[in-house]
Amino acid sequence: MLKYDSIRELTREAENRQVKISELVLADQSQVMEQTPESLVDQMRESFRVMQEAVITGQKKDQRSMSGLTGGEGFLMKDYAERTGGGLCGSFLTRAISRAMSVAGCNASMGRIVAAPTAGSCGILPGCLVSLYEDRQYPEQDIVMSMFTAGAFGMVIAANSSIAGAQGGCQAECGSASGMAAAALTELMGGTPSQCGDACAIAIVNQLGLVCDPVAGLVEIPCIKRNVSGLMIAFSSADLALAGVAPRIPVDECIDAMREVGNALPASLRETAGGGLATTPTGLRLREQVFGK
């Protein structure tokens, strides 16, 4: 039985058995939860379908958050991708950006989402995986299996650092989600278990120190757009790892560093809306717009 104490444990065990991390984790979870592998895959497939539905909800032109501060970002990006042929990033990435913002927008409007691993970072993994499924025609079974890898990495991060903005800043939410997505993408591209770990490390490194400073204390500004950054970092981190670019600092040490940095952040930058963008003149004005003086 796996302990999920470290990414190194997962990658080493998978390589010793000559299986993918997802296959290793599925077998372990089947034993621990006393459910058949097929039933667990079915449950994960349902989560993927919820992700797809959240994209559709968030891409509606009239989508608005409960506060009224945000809404329609997913539609605007989808429209931009279609009008410009993909803009600067190309069609695939601009559509992926739209999906990430759409899921985050669905969350802000009290829609049904999958916390992956949190509501604040809910658009990163779906934005990556739904894009591979819909635009690159990756088999649904492979997509669903990669979610087991993402989940296992999230379990390790949660155990050794944090996935909560209130505890570790946005690095703990979007940083963790990006690392999980990078690992899943790397496996989907045929990468080794060790390369999955490298991709996660690179993603975490590139968001180390990211603060949590939600305007008006709501998971909207800047959270929705940070999902986009996390998605882009996940794609680039996976490509770097697949190319053989080493992170130099092992992934488990990166996770430890994230915990250390999170602990050093002042309370004002850990989801309290007491600093950063939340206390800018515009941030305070928007708070009054929602809650009054």
**Are 97 and 123 in contact, with CB atoms under 8 Å apart?**
no
**61: which 2 tokens?**
């032109």
Distance (Å, rounded) from C-alpha 14 to C-alpha 225? 35
Segment 220-242 shows an average pLDDT of: 98
Position 8 pLDDT exceeds 90: yes
Task: Categorize the per-residue pLDDT at 213 as very low, low, confident or very high, splitting at 50, 70 and 90.
Answer: very high
Q: Which pLDDT does position 293 carry in this prediction?
A: 84
Q: What is the pLDDT of residues 112-126, one digit of tens each?
A: 999 999 999 999 999
Its pTM stands at 0.97
User: Percentage of the chain with pLDDT > 90?
Assistant: 99
State the alpha helices, DSSP H only, in 206-291: 223-242, 251-264, 281-291
Segment 7-23 shows an average pLDDT of: 98
**96: which 2 tokens?**
């992926």
Q: Which pLDDT does position 1 carry in this prediction?
A: 81
Q: What is the pLDDT of residues 273-289, one digit of tens each?
A: 999 999 999 999 999 99
Q: Which pLDDT does position 15 carry in this prediction?
A: 97
Segment 10-21 shows an average pLDDT of: 98
Distance (Å, rounded) from C-alpha 105 to C-alpha 70? 8
**154: which 2 tokens?**
């999230």
Q: Which pLDDT does position 194 carry in this prediction?
A: 98
Place of tokens 């667990």: 40
Distance (Å, rounded) from C-alpha 169 to C-alpha 273? 11
Position 86 pLDDT exceeds 90: yes
Position 180 pLDDT exceeds 90: yes
Q: What is the pLDDT of residues 245-264, one digit of tens each?
A: 999 999 999 999 999 999 99
| Mean pLDDT, all residues of the chain | 98
Residues ≥6 apart with Cβ < 8 Å to 285? none
Q: What is the pLDDT of residues 44-80, one digit of tens each?
A: 999 999 999 999 999 999 999 999 999 999 999 999 9
